[in-house]
Amino acid sequence: MNPPVPLGILEDKEEEHLATQVLGPSINSDNPQERIQARRLRIAARLEARRREALGEYLDGKKESEEDQSKSYKQKEESRLKLAKLLLYGTELVTNIQVATDIREIHRRVEEEELKRQRLEKLENEVKTSQDKFDDITAKWEEGIHKKIPQELWELLNSQQVHCAGLIEDKNKLISELQQARGPGHSVPARWGRLGAYNWELKIKDDQYVKDLKKQSEDICVLLERMEEQVKTVMRTFRQELNHIEKAFEVERQELLSSNKKKWERALQAHNAKELEYLMNRLKKVEDYEKQLSKQRIWDFEEYNMIKIKLEQDVQILEQQLQQMKATYQLNQEKLEYNFQVLKKRDEESTMIKSQQKRKMNRLHDVLNNMRSKYAKQIKQFQEENQSLTSDYKRLVIQFKELQKAMRHFVLIDEEKFRDFWVMNEEEAKGLISRAFDVDRIIHTQHLGLPWTAPDFWFLKNVGPLFQQQQKSATQILEEVLMQTEEEGSEADQELESYLDLPKQVSASTTRKILMLLCDESGFLIESKLLSLLQPLEKSECYLLRLDAIFSALGVESEDDLYKLVNFFLKYRAQHLSSQEGEMMPALEPVPKGEEEEEKKEKEEEEEEEDGESLEEEEAESLVEEEEASTSPRLIHPNDVLKILEAFVKGLKKPRDARAPVKLQKAARDNSKDSDYWKALATVIPRSRQNLWDGLYAALEKYHLVLMRRAELLLECNTLEQQNTELQQLLQKYLGSKINSELQVPPTQVLPISTKSN
Amino acid sequence: MFTKSFSATWKPRGPNRGSNVRLMRRIIAEDAEWSLAIVPLLTDLCIRHIVKNFRNNPILTQLLPEHQQKVLRQLPPDLPLAVTANLIDDENYWHRCCEQRWPVCHLDCHGGSWKRLFFERHLENLIKHFIPGSTDPAVILDLLPLCRNYVRRIRVDQFLPPVQLRPPPHNGDQSDSGSEGETEEPSMDHYQLGELVAGLSQLEELDLVYGIKDCGMNFEWNLFLFTYRDCQSLAATIKACHTLKVFRLTRSKVDDNKARILIRSLLDHPALEKLDLSHNCIGDRGARAAAKLLSHSRLRVLNLANNQVRAPGAQSLAHALAHNTNLLSLNLRLNCIEDEGGQALAHALQTNKCLTTLHLGGNELSEPTATLLSQVLSVNTTLTKINLSCNHIGPDGGKQLLEGMSDNKTLLEFDLRLSDVAQESEYLIGQALCANREEARQRALNPSHFSAPLTAKGPENPVG
């Protein structure tokens, strides 16, 4: 069924094509073969097209350099495509056989299926008909049971027998039919019988099987052939392509070699030419140098002669000099010998002195050692002393501080006492003065009948001792603030607050914190020398001195300046904080300096007394504020301090000179005006008025005397009246007594008038 | 020779130095042809001795590497395996052994190891010639401890049946396939692989054909019997072998029931990747079992070529394939799935994202399947090879496939031979494939895929 297909080699496909055409149609299936042919033609066409394409591409030649490079690459690509095609279509060719076998198998199966189906159909039909017949026969058996007459029964049996024979005949017919259908024209050997029929069919199948086997072996042969052929062609083409590639590479390599050789030769030629040039140059140079050498030689020779003569002359001179030198040498030798002797003697002496000196030195060393030990002892002593003294000093300082504290306390108390005394005296004086004024007023209004006006003096309104408001210097404030920090634990704040009058809005601790911050941050303002000096001091002192230095650098001198600085800080913080805290801080007013300051001072003096009472209330307020503002210094970032300071220094433009002399000594109370005050109080009634009063006094004395006499007279009169009344009473008593009745003539009738008057 | 030279050198000097032995010796030493190399080294002697007595006293591992090499070079290839098997790893020695026994050796089929080749072929040989009942099973089992570490594949294409009495085949000549099935089954069992496979710890591939080769005119149907007991024992064997990756049972008349037994034992197998049951008589039920296996294993290659799978079987396979993510290759060549099955498979391929190779050659497919496949072609991006040869696709179906191909960029091979497709469309499809291949080559920058089709088709060629 499979024709001996010429095995596909791509190179001789045309021959192959011819061969297939010559061999003509295949036994089994034309279609696949035609397909194969068509495919092959297609392969050829495609290959050719590709080749043409490649050639065209090659001819086009985009760039020469690229072409050079890609010659081998192109060859490779071409070969690759070619080989891929070869492999693909070779494989297809080989597998074609498998596919053809497959389709044959399918055809066979389909045929088989069809035959099977037909046979089954036939058998089923036969089964149906025979079943009908069989049914008839069995039905008749039923009839036969009822028949009693033997003849009838016999007839029935005969007919049944005929029917059965017909049935069997049908079956046999079918069998033979089946045999006929299988092999028409073939006579079945009679002796095989029924089983033989199947065997006969089997025989046909066997034949077919053998045929199939043969076909398949042929197929396998073809397959093997094709495979071998394929392998061969593949190998051949691979080799060819390899050769092509190798050739391409070789050509490329040759070209490369030749080009490189050319390059090399060119380079070599250039090199040779250069070499020649160098050689010529060298020869020329050699000649030049030779000439120069000969010249040099002649010149050198002449020179040599000259020098020789000169040197000989020199030798002569030197010999002469040598002689002279020898003579001097002799002389010198003698001198030196003498000197040597002298020196020897001196040496001896010096050794003597040396030994003496040595002894002396030893002694002095001893002394020195003694001194040293003494010195050490003394140092120790002094150190001890120093220690004791420092401890003493410290103790004293502490004592002094305590004393100061006490003193401050006492000062305060004294002031209070003084003030109390003052007030008491003043009240007394004022009482007196008011009495005097009252008297004066009475005198004027009642005695003299003149209108009286109350005299108006400033000292009348004054209450308490006279105060000169003092400007404390910045350092004092500092000291106080820092002192306060030290004593904060032990003493009550209120007491401190009382002599530390800070502005309302700033509390002491806030100030202190700000100052500490300032001290920590602006160390650059302090001189380095001072810093080194500050090292051994205590913390608070250190702070104090540092702040002092910083303030002197900043120009902060007075208390106001300090508070201004503190306020400035707080204001800055307020600006940075939210607006709610801003209300707490009153805006810092730029206070005008100089003349206004003086006036303000006086006003303050006057208002001092009133302020004193309200001070305690304010303290309470400030305490509240302090609690609120206590967080403030923490909120000022250390980095901002310098900015604030800069702003402050810019803002603080004031005349330095005006402030300079106003440095006041502390606590010296000015009592110069006190005497004036008191004197003024004493002389509240002027002298003229006193004289008036004196005159008035004399007149009134007289008036008094008259009045006195009159009073005596009045008294006398009164006593006389009294006597009179007493006498009257006595009279009445006498009149009323029983004696009268006994009497014949009662006195009553004698004295009617007197009774009537009672 | 020695005496000659001695006399030649001796004579001219003779008169002067006559009887001095030392001189004589010197003269011997001066013999031009004498050299120290003639004396064999002691090591050489020892090595020779070791080689001579290797059978009784194998000394190898204690030697220096260079001496080991020498010994191995000189060892005869017919030493008993009990001595050499676990002692010698040298490839050259086993190379010699192999060459001595077999004229043709395919080293590539055995993982490039001569030792493995030797043991595998030796074992296969023993199994091939094992006659149940008459051969002592110890022949094979004795070899087991020697070869257990080297054998990875057993490829047996013949199992001899037990020896039968002469008369019955002569008598039962006419009564063919019908009679032999049940009556003689107990005596027709072949060698049971169970024990052997259980002992081989490295076994990866099992390639079996239950049949006889070169029986010639002694042909009997019952020589080619794969009995139920064989089947059950084989099923138990492969179930127990957890290292098995490839299992092939071809040309063994495996019917539906046996296939089901085998496949049931393979369900959820931990390693199996390749199952080949081609050239059997598996019908739809077997195909259904295979479909179940697809969803219960990590099978990558399934080959059911030349069986009796029809449309229902193909439909169940398609159902399993629709959501499978392991299977790479499915071969249903020479079955009869017809359009119904083909359409089901095509539907499945629309959702499948894994299958790369599909062989539907000789399946009575026609235009409707082609229509659906063309839709698949435009959607699917994993398929690289489709074989539709020997079907009745017809010119219209070819055109539709061509349309489908125009949208596809991944298909590399599309076999439409002998399927009534118009030449023009076949040519155009071929061109599209060429373009795809070129693209794939450009993508991978590796022209190896041109050889890939060869290897893919390789195993199928001898079968056809």
pLDDT per position as a tens digit, B3-33? 444 444 444 444 444 455 555 555 555 666 7
Question: Mind listing the pLDDT tens digit for each residue in A367-405?
Answer: 999 999 999 999 999 999 999 999 988 888 888 888 888
Q: Chain B contact for A237, CB < 8 A?
A: no
Angstrom distance (rounded) from CA B188 to CA A590: 128
Q: Is A80 on the interface with B (CB under 8 A)?
A: yes
Q: Which residues of B touch A103 (CB under 8 A)?
A: 362, 389-390, 418
Contact A35 B451 (CB under 8 A): no
**Is A337 a residue whose pLDDT tops 60?**
yes
Q: How confident is the model at residue B235 (pLDDT cuts 50, 70, 90)?
A: very high
Residue A528 lies in a domain: yes
Quote the pLDDT of residue A352: 95
Q: A117 pLDDT band (50/70/90 cuts)?
A: very high
Structurally, chain A folds into a number of domains equal to: 3
The rounded distance, in Å, linking the Cα atoms of A253 and A275 is 32
ipTM computed for the complex: 0.77
Q: A105 vs B450: CB contact, 8 Å cut-off? A: no
State the pLDDT at residue B457: 39
pLDDT of residue A34: 66
Tell me whether residues A223 and B417 touch, CB distance under 8 A. Answer: no
* Confidence tier at B223 by pLDDT (50, 70, 90): confident
The predicted pLDDT at position A228 comes to 92
Residues A573 and A642 in one domain: yes
Q: A86, A102, A191: which to substitute to probe chain B, counting the most B Cβ within 10 Å?
A: A102
CATH number of B306-447: 3.80.10.10
Domain presence at residue A156: yes
pLDDT of residue A616: 42
Highest mean pLDDT among A431-435, A576-580, B351-355: B351-355
Q: Is pLDDT at B40 greater than 90 in this prediction?
A: no
In a domain, A55, yes or no: no
| Best B389, B393, B427, B463 residue to mutate vs chain A (most A CBs within 10 Å) | B389
Closest-CA distance, A255 to chain B, in angstroms, reads 29
* Residue A511 shares a structural domain with residue A646: yes
Interchain CB contact of B427 with A (< 8 Å): yes
| Residue A563: inside a domain | yes
Burial of B147 (0-12, 13-18, 19+ CB in 10 A): buried
DSSP A310-323: HHHHHHHHHHHHHH
Q: Is residue A463 part of a domain?
A: no
Closest Cβ–Cβ partner in A80, A102, A199 for B334: A102
pLDDT for res A69: 58
Do residues A104 and A169 share a domain?
yes
A-proximal residues of B, 321-340, CB under 8 Å: 333-334, 336
Residue A475: closest CA among A567, A569, A547: A547
Per-residue pLDDT, averaged over A682-699, amounts to 83
- Residue A564 has φ and ψ, to the nearest 5°, of -60, -40
Query: For residue B160, which amino acid is it?
Result: L
Percentage helix, strand, coil for chain A under 3-state DSSP, each rounded to 5: 85, 0, 15
Distance from CA of B47 to the nearest CA of A (A): 46
Taking one residue from A and the other from B, the number of pairs with CB-CB distance under 8 angstroms is: 62
CB B450 to CB A31 under 8 A?
no
A641 with A701, same domain: the answer is no
CB of A43 within 8 Å of a chain B CB? The answer is no
For residue B330, list its beta bridge partners: B302, B358
Q: What is the largest CA-CA distance in chain B?
A: 116
Residue spans of the domains in chain B: they are 40-105, 306-447
A510-565 pLDDT per residue, tens: 777 777 777 777 667 777 777 777 666 666 677 777 777 777 777 766 667 777 77
pLDDT surpasses 90 at A258: yes
- Domain contains A109: yes
A497 belongs to a structural domain: no
Determine the pLDDT at residue B165. Answer: 53
Does A99 sit within 8 Å of B361, measured CB to CB? yes
Higher pLDDT, A36 or B99: B99
Write out pLDDT tens, residues A84-104.
888 888 888 888 888 898 888
The CA angle A551-A586-A569, to the nearest 5 degrees, is 30
Strand B153-156 vs strand B205-208: parallel, antiparallel, or unpaired?
parallel
The CB-based long-range contact list for A432-438 (8 Å cut-off, 24+ gap) reads A433/A460, A433/A681, A433/A684, A436/A684, A436/A685, A437/A684
- In the chain, the amino acid numbered A293 is L
Binary contact (A97, B464; C-beta < 8 A): yes
In terms of residue numbers, what domain contains A713? Answer: 689-733
Which sign does the torsion angle of CA A699, A701, A705, A708 carry?
positive
Residue B152: CB partners within 8 Å, gap ≥ 6? B111, B116, B120, B202, B203, B204, B205
Q: In this predicted structure, what is the pLDDT of residue A28? A: 46
Indicate the pairing of strand B357-359 with strand B329-331: parallel
B364 touches chain A (CB under 8 A): yes
Asked if the structure places residue A338 within a domain, the reply is: no
How do residues A278-312 score in pLDDT, each as one tens digit? 999 999 999 999 999 999 999 999 999 999 999 99
> A21 by DSSP, 3-state: which?
helix
> For residue range B262-301, what is the model confidence (pLDDT) as tens digits?
999 999 999 999 999 999 999 999 999 999 999 998 999 9
- CB-closest option in A29, A35, A102 to B361: A102
Note whether A108 and A155 are same-domain residues: yes
Chain A residues in contact with B447 by the CB 8 A cut-off are 80, 84
- Co-location of A697 and A648 in the same domain: no
Which pLDDT value is given to residue A481? 64
B364-376 pLDDT, tens digit per residue, is: 889 999 999 999 9
CA distance A512 to A500: 13
